[in-house]
Amino acid sequence: MANTYMLIAKVTVTGTQSNIQFTNIPSTFTDLLICHSLRTTRAAYHESIAMEFNGTGSNRTYRRIYGVNNMNIDNGAFMYGGQAAGNTNTPSTAFGTSMVYISAYAASRAKIALECGGSENNDTNTLRDMVASIWNDTAPITSITLTPENGGTIQANSTAYLYGIKNT
Amino acid sequence: MALTYEPISQGIVSSLAAYFEFTNIPNTYTDLVVVADCKYNSGGGDLNWRINGDTGSFYSWTRFEQLNSNRANTTTLINTTDATQQALIIGHFFNYANTGVQKVVLSQSGNVQQNVGLSVGTWRKTDAITSIQIYAELSGAQWAIGSRFSLYGIKAA
């Protein structure tokens, strides 16, 4: 019987680190799913996570619906890989949670990633978002890098899991 | 250990098709997930769900999205986002085999045009879902070759 969701890799941060990388991603799945729980050192309630495929920062765009106690939209040359709690977010055990679904990651065409995530702390300053990101590149995705957008580091006890999804 | 997430069916469009349909869906799961990684050959508008081939006025939907702001309608289908360009739509059909409840689908979507959106749709019938048809808002549009549709079943136990 099929094993639809398979764990490809997991990262548990023990100290601090500048990013999270998944490398040597096999091409044997249909889609990919990233689930993460992150907290960063940014002096804010929340932090966005930038996403790169294959170490390439070009040909990236996104459209986003997001809210910080309200609702906004924006777009730009970037890919969103989720939301994390910032260091102002209390208590220190508060983490952001996100999921990123990447379809046809091994196909020879542009890649679409759907992300939804947020951080919460019983306050009005945290952020929730839903994003469609595009990597306009035909190369199969073999690595994924998640980096705090504003340059901080990822704190201990943060976790990130990469799953491969098979449709047969 | 129980397998909670299983592929039921999948298809890749090999010639232009007006719609794609999952049929004979077993009633042995709790929820269904459809992943549509697709686009039209030209035009087409929004991707629609139709359940059990029902063309009656038993559907309604509400969505918010970036390009077209908020939309809602009572209609003969459940509407999601535009798939004129490559699009990814993930639909979660809850309690699809429970004959005591109306059926609800949550759809998260995005495309390379680009847009991002979330819709909730209701089929105001209590029949078990046995088929799901996926087709274009605008008549004459067809699914392009290479469009891929996957159906998964989720078991709560």
pLDDT given for residue B101 in this prediction: 94
d(CA B91, CA B46): 14
Using a pLDDT cut of 70, give the percent of chain B over it.
Answer: 86
d(CA B38, CA B111): 9
- pLDDT tens string B20-38: 999 999 999 999 999 999 9
pLDDT given for residue A12 in this prediction: 96
pLDDT given for residue A52 in this prediction: 97
Enumerate the domain spans of chain A: 7-165
- The DSSP output letter for A40 is B
**Residue (of A114, A135, A2) closest to B106 by Cα position:** A114
Are A134 and B112 a contacting pair at CB < 8 A?
Answer: yes
Domains of chain B: 5-154 (2.60.120)
Give the residue from A60, A61, A109, A112 with the most B CB atoms within 10 Å of its CB, the best one to mutate: A112
Chain A residue with Cα closest to B116: A132
Q: Which of B5, B90, B148 sits opposite A114 (nearest CB)?
A: B90
- Mean pLDDT on B104-128: 89
Q: Which of A3, A61, A109 sits opposite B86 (nearest CB)?
A: A109
Q: Which residues of B touch A5 (CB under 8 A)?
A: 5
Residue B68 scores a pLDDT above 70: no
Given a contact cutoff of 8 angstroms between Cβ atoms, the answer to whether B87 and B47 are in contact is: yes
Give the residue from A1, A128, A134 with the most B CB atoms within 10 Å of its CB, the best one to mutate: A134
Contacts of B21 (CB under 8 A, 6+ apart): B131, B132, B133, B134
pLDDT given for residue A1 in this prediction: 46
pLDDT given for residue B91 in this prediction: 95
More confident residue, B70 or B137: B137
Given a contact cutoff of 8 angstroms between Cβ atoms, the answer to whether B134 and B13 are in contact is: no
Residue type (1 letter), B139: S
pLDDT given for residue A123 in this prediction: 75
Q: Which of A65, A104, A168 sits opposite B7 (nearest CB)?
A: A168
Residue B95 scores a pLDDT above 70: yes
CA atoms within 13 A on the CB side of B30: 7
Strand A80-85 with A46-53, pairing:
antiparallel
Given the candidates 1.10.150, 3.30.870, 2.60.40, 2.60.120, the CATH classification of the domain at A7-165 is: 2.60.120
Q: Is the ipTM of this complex over 0.90?
A: no
Low-confidence residues in chain A, pLDDT < 70: 1-2
